[in-house]
Amino acid sequence: MTSETAPDSAPENAAKHKPAPPQTRDLAASLKDAGLAALITFALAAPIMGLHTMSLPGGGGLAIVPNWASVFISVVVVFVGRLLLDLFVWRRVVQIPIGDKWFRRPGGMPFARHAHRLGGVAGPLLLGFTIIMPFLPFSDRYIMDLSILVLTYVMLGWGLNIVVGLAGLLDLGYVAFYAVGAYSYALLAQYFDLGFWVCLPLAGILAAFWGLLLGFPVLRLRGDYLAIVTLAFGEIIRIVLLNWYQFTGGPDGISGIPRPSFFGLEFSRGDDGFAAFFGLDYSPMHRIIFLYYLILILALITNFVTMRLRRLPVGRAWEALREDEIACRSLGINTTNTKLTAFAIGAMFGGFAGSFFATRQGFISPESFTFIESALILAIVVLGGLGSQIGVVIAAVVMIGGFEYFREFEQYRMLIFGLAMVVIMVWRPRGLIATREPSIALGKRKAISGDLVGEGHG
Q: Which of residues 11-50 bind another protein (CB under 8 A)?
A: 13-14, 16-17, 40, 43-44, 47-49
Distance in Å, CB of 375 to another protein, minimum:
6
Among 73, 415, 440, 441, binds another protein (CB under 8 A): 415
418 vs 54: CA distance, rounded Å: 26
Distance in Å, CB of 339 to another protein, minimum:
14
Instruction: Restricting to residues 45-104, name those near another protein by CB under 8 A.
Output: 47-49, 51-55, 59, 61-64, 67, 70
Nearer to another protein among residue 302 and residue 324 (C-beta): 324
Nearer to another protein among residue 339 and residue 360 (C-beta): 339
387 vs 165: CA distance, rounded Å: 4
Nearer to another protein among residue 43 and residue 440 (C-beta): 43
* DSSP secondary structure string for all residues of 282-349: P-THHHHHHHHHHHHHHHHHHHHHHHHHHHSHHHHHHHHHHH-HHHHHHTT--HHHHHHHHHHHHHHH
List, in order, residues 6 or more apart from 343 with CB less than 8 Å away: 163, 167, 169, 171, 211, 212, 214, 215, 219
Distance in Å, CB of 215 to another protein, minimum:
11
- Computed on alpha carbons and rounded to an integer, the radius of gyration of the chain in Å comes to 25
Check if the beta carbon of residue 168 is closer than 8 Å to that of residue 223: yes
Nearer to another protein among residue 288 and residue 380 (C-beta): 380
Nearer to another protein among residue 222 and residue 445 (C-beta): 222
Nearer to another protein among residue 131 and residue 452 (C-beta): 452
Among 9, 161, 389, 435, binds another protein (CB under 8 A): 9
* DSSP secondary structure string for all residues of 164-191: IIIS----S-HHHHHHHHHHHHHHHHHH
Distance in Å, CB of 9 to another protein, minimum:
6
426 vs 451: CA distance, rounded Å: 12
356 vs 341: CA distance, rounded Å: 23
Residue in 218, 243, 216 with CA at minimum distance from that of residue 229:
218
Nearer to another protein among residue 212 and residue 232 (C-beta): 232
Window 135-174: contact mask with another protein (x via CB under 8 A): -----------------------------x---x-x-x--
Report helix, strand or coil for 266.
strand
Among 194, 205, 420, 448, binds another protein (CB under 8 A): 420
Nearer to another protein among residue 12 and residue 145 (C-beta): 12
Q: Region of 195 please: left (phi>0), alpha (psi -120 to 50) or beta.
A: beta
Distance in Å, CB of 298 to another protein, minimum:
27
End-to-end CA distance of the chain: 36
Q: What are phi and psi of 281, to 5 degrees?
A: -75, 140
Q: What is the DSSP letter of 250?
A: G
Among 68, 129, 247, 412, binds another protein (CB under 8 A): 412
187 vs 137: CA distance, rounded Å: 38
Distance in Å, CB of 69 to another protein, minimum:
12
Nearer to another protein among residue 18 and residue 116 (C-beta): 18
Check if the beta carbon of residue 171 is closer than 8 Å to that of residue 230: yes
Nearer to another protein among residue 73 and residue 297 (C-beta): 73
42 vs 107: CA distance, rounded Å: 34
Instruction: Restricting to residues 347-386, name those near another protein by CB under 8 A.
Output: 371-372, 375, 378-379, 382, 386
Among 35, 421, 448, 449, binds another protein (CB under 8 A): 421
Does position 181 interact with another protein (CB under 8 A)? The reply is no
Instruction: Restricting to residues 196-255, name those near another protein by CB under 8 A.
Output: 217-218, 221-225, 227-229, 231-233, 235-236, 239-240, 242-243
Nearer to another protein among residue 195 and residue 450 (C-beta): 450
Q: Number of residues interacting with another protein: please give it, by CB under 8 A.
A: 81
Piece of 107-115, 269-277, 361-369, 446-454 that binds another protein (CB under 8 A): 446-454
Instruction: Restricting to residues 278-297, name those near another protein by CB under 8 A.
Output: none
436 vs 428: CA distance, rounded Å: 13
Does position 124 interact with another protein (CB under 8 A)? The reply is no
Dihedral sign, Cα of residue 180, residue 186, residue 188, residue 190: negative
Instruction: Restricting to residues 308-337, name those near another protein by CB under 8 A.
Output: 326
Does position 452 interact with another protein (CB under 8 A)? The reply is no
